[in-house]
Amino acid sequence: MVDVALNCHRRPADEHQPAGTAGLGAAAAIHLAKHSPAHIYISGRNAKSADAVIQQTQKSGTKVTFLPCDLASLDSVKKAAETLLAQESRLDLLMCNAGIMATPPGKTKDGYEVQFGTNHLGHALLIQKCLPLLEQTAAATTTTDVRIVILTSLGFRMHPGAGIVFSDLKSEQNFSAFGGWIRYGQSKLANVLYARELARRYPSITSVSVHPGVVGTGLVENLGWANRAFVYVTNLGKLMEAEQGAYNQLWASTVPKEKLKNGQFYEPVGILSSKLDKASKDDALAKQLWEWTDKALADYVH
């Protein structure tokens, strides 16, 4: 799993950003480092993979720091966020990049359905912990451009009929033979809705969700043979390389602010999606998700 908070704009030396250790996160970090941000933080579980990314990114002269972070553990996310906050006085870009897909039934260390807990709840805690610093940075000048980029997937359309089954999130949610994909869709729907609600509640920060496309990273390679075959067949065997898959999140991180619509979902690169369904545009559901998430994270945020 990898998270990236980066910025590819050339900015004053006191501006800092957090980021990833493999796949799309690593590709984004390596590319953005070429544009001389003051500081990149990359997070993930694999320190060895982080070292390889740091060696590549530091060739550009950019300072890069690894933050150990397991999104399936709220204690780990809290520690990573507080380590960052203790070191920095500003934060310009937070890229929520990490995730898991179509995994067998399971729970996080905190007892939540593992895909929802990892793909949504872990990221939500990282965002909530960083929001005060993001707001502070946004208020610094009238021209400050602060962004949150959340990676989701068109797989959100596989969500349960109710959208998100809130009453059952502290279980393994054994929906059906396709339960792994339904649980994945639920978590990716939460990513879309959370970006919408972030934009409504924090308009000084530009928050968007993006679909990277279907990319041949560990997210696919680590699937069981049946699920891996499903991905290849449904995409006619055409999977993108990580560098190409990172284009949409890089676009959302660097395009002039006026080209972005706060709270919206983009796919393919730079295009407002026409594939949102009723649940993904449901503001009442987004509000319910926000309130449920606040209660779940209360002991970790404050």
Q: What is the set of active-site residues?
A: 184, 188
- Taking phi first (over 0 means left), then psi (-120 to 50 degrees means alpha), and beta for anything else, what does residue 163 get? left
Assess whether the previous peptide bond of 268 is cis (omega < 30° from 0): yes
Question: Mapping DSSP to helix (H, G, I), strand (E, B) and coil, where does residue 2 land?
Answer: strand
Q: Look up residue 223 and give its two tokens.
A: 């699937």
For the chain, the C-alpha Rg in angstroms (whole number) is 18
Question: Mapping DSSP to helix (H, G, I), strand (E, B) and coil, where does residue 155 land?
Answer: helix
Question: Mapping DSSP to helix (H, G, I), strand (E, B) and coil, where does residue 27 land?
Answer: helix
Question: Bridge-partner residues for 43, per DSSP?
Answer: 3, 67
Q: Are 92 and 147 in contact (CB under 8 A)?
A: yes
Give the whole-angstrom CA distance, residue 47 versus residue 116. 24
Give the whole-angstrom CA distance, residue 249 versus residue 212. 7
Q: Are 55 and 280 in contact (CB under 8 A)?
A: no
Could you tell me which of 107, 119, 111, 112 has the C-alpha nearest to residue 155?
119
Give the whole-angstrom CA distance, residue 98 versus residue 33. 19
- The pair phi, psi for residue 280, each rounded to 5°, is -75, -10
Could you tell me which of 98, 97, 86, 95 has the C-alpha nearest to residue 133?
86
Give the whole-angstrom CA distance, residue 208 versus residue 215. 20
